[in-house]
Structure 1
Amino acid sequence: MALRFEHRDTEIDASIVDRVWRTRSDAEDTMTSAARTCWHLILSRTQGRLLAGLRGPETRATTAPVPPDTKFLGVRFALGTVLRPHPAASITDGYVPVPVTDSGRIVIGGEDWEAPTYENVEHFVRRLQDAGLLLRSRLGDEEHVAEPPEAGPTRRTLERRYRAITGLSRTAVAQIDRANAGATMLRDGQDWHTVVQTLGYFDQAHLAHALRRYVGCTARELRAGGHAAMSFLYKTHPAPGS
């Protein structure tokens, strides 16, 4: 049985938390995880045991194991949100376990915190913000490139800062967002001609290559609904980068 994800927006500023999701597995399986520009906090509960971890931005689609009889909760943080102990650049294409105490509290920044639930994620996020562990970077405040260099940061400096904050280059973010936007359009029934024209792909082959690399499935599979379990990964904005 395919995983089915329930997800919601939050009362937190969308520049901090993009989406909260949950699902559960019935049997041991694998799933295709689409590339993503955001990092997640993921909690899983199985046989009364709580596990927690941070999954970083991913630069290509991957296959992930799904253990049986497990409940999952995920918090997808917006691009540019920084968790001080674990910058996104340190976990890109990776996973970092988060310690869990015997009493079921998760340890971040040397302190233990009550594990969030689907209903109270906002309280958990605000506490991390109040402690100075979670903050929003200022990615959009330095879009200009100063000339001469002594008047301000150069383009190369800005790109290094962007990578340090997000773990990705601006080009990678644009490509991943565009592929996920295309996957959303195909999943919602639009044809590949419309997707190519709307999102600026060269042709069907260019779109197909992006879907294989970043989403891990074909346009036909998306239109048939065969990868509905991945729908929570797709951006909900009408265009990439927005």
Structure 2
Amino acid sequence: MALRFEHRATDADAGIVDRVWRTSSDAEKTMTSVARTCCHLIVTRTPGQLLVTLRGPETRATTAPVPPDAEFLGIRLTLGAVLRPHPATSIVDSDVSFPVTRSGRVIIGGADWETPTYENVEQFVRRLRDAGLVVPSRLAGPEPDRHLSTRTRERHHRAVTGLTQTAVTQIDRANAAATMLRDGLDWRAVVDTLGYFDQAHLAHALRRFVGHTARGLGTGDDPTMSFLYKTDPRPGS
């Protein structure tokens, strides 16, 4: 059975959290982890074990194990937001785990915190913000100085997000395409809507960033894959 995701917006401070989601597994399996532009704090609960992991941006689709009888909570940070001391640049295509106490509290920044739940993510994020451990994205706010060179703006973007602007646009667009195909839209409409050159261009992007073909996504077989939700119609924004 495929993973079923529940998700919601959050009223945590702007520039810090983009989305909150949760799901659970009923049996041991594998899933396709699609490429992502943002960092995720993921809480995994299995019988007798609690794991808290910060996953960095992912530049390609990979296969990931899914333990049985597990509950997952995901906190998707805004593009460029930082959970100290782990900027996105240090964990691209990687992750870091946080220690957990015997009482089930997570240690971040040398202090122990109540492990968040789906219902209290906002309080958890605000406490980390007040402690200076989570920092809003430096990409938020006014448009960058137009007098800066393209190279300087690109260097700033990569220093904040760990990715080039082109990579962010490509990954966001592929995720949007996958979502549209799973919703039953024909590949031709996806190509026209998202600005792919042709079917081959779309197919290459899906293989690289999503790990599935347009046909596989559109058949209704519901492949087991990491969370896809409707993204901004302007990829990279």
Partner residue in 2 for 1:91: 91
Cα shift at 1:13: 3.9
Q: 1:1-242 residue pairs with structure 2 within 5 A?
A: 1-139=1-139, 141=142, 143-146=144-147, 153-227=148-222, 229-230=224-225, 232-242=227-237
Q: Distance in 2 between the 1:121 and 1:181 partners?
A: 26
Distance in 2, matches of 1:134 and 1:66, equals 28
Cα shift readout 1:133-184 (whole Å, capped 9, x = no counterpart): 11113225463442xxxxxx54323222211211100000000011111111
Contact preservation (8 Å) 1:7, 1:232: no
The 3-state SS of whatever aligns with 1:53 is strand
Q: Distance in 1 between matches of 2:20 and 2:110?
A: 24
Distance in 1 between residues matched to 2:157 and 2:136, nearest whole Å:
13
Alignment CA distance shift 1:55-1:227 (3 Å): farther
State the distance in 2 between where 1:231 and 1:39 align.
14
Contact 2:31/2:226 (8 A) holds in 1: no
The size of the alignment, in residue pairs, is: 236
Matched AA of 2:210: V
Q: How far is the alpha carbon of 1:229 from its aligned partner?
A: 4.7
Q: Distance in 2 between matches of 1:126 and 1:13?
A: 8
Q: Which amino acid aligns with 1:27?
A: A
- For the residue of structure 2 that corresponds to 1:18, the secondary structure is strand
Please give the root-mean-square deviation of Cα atoms over the aligned residues, in Å: 1.7
| Whole-angstrom CA distance in 2 between matches of 1:103 and 1:196 | 51
Judging changes above 3 Å, is the alpha-carbon distance between structure 1 residues 55 and 13 closer, same or farther for their aligned structure 2 residues?
A: same
Q: Partners in 2 of 1:229 and 1:18 — Cα distance?
A: 23
How much has 1:228 moved relative to structure 2?
5.9
Identity value in percent = 71
Point out where structure 2 has 5 or more consecutive residues left out of the alignment: none
Alignment partner of 1:139: what SS?
A: coil
Q: Closer, same or farther in 2 for the Cα pair 1:55/1:65, shift >3 Å?
A: same
TM-score, normalized by length of structure 2? 0.93
Q: Indicate the structure with greater helix content.
A: 1
Stretch moving more, 120-129 or 185-194: 185-194
Q: Distance in 1 between matches of 2:153 and 2:42?
A: 30
**Comparing 69-78 and 217-226, the one that deviates more:** 217-226
1:235 deviates by 4.4
**CA–CA distance in structure 2, aligned partners of residues 154 and 84 of structure 1:** 29
TM-superposition CA deviations, 1:83-127 (whole Å, max 9, x none): 121101111100111111111111111111100001100100011
- Would the aligned equivalents of 1:39 and 1:56 in 2 still touch at CA under 8 Å? yes
- In structure 2, what residue type is equivalent to 1:7? H
Name the CA distance, whole Å, in 2 between partners of 1:225 and 1:94.
31
Tell me if the contact between 1:57 and 1:91 (Cα under 8 Å) persists in the aligned partners: yes
User: 3-state DSSP class of the match of 2:227?
Assistant: helix
Unaligned 5+ runs, structure 1: 147-152
Compare 92-101 and 231-240 and name the one that shifted more.
231-240
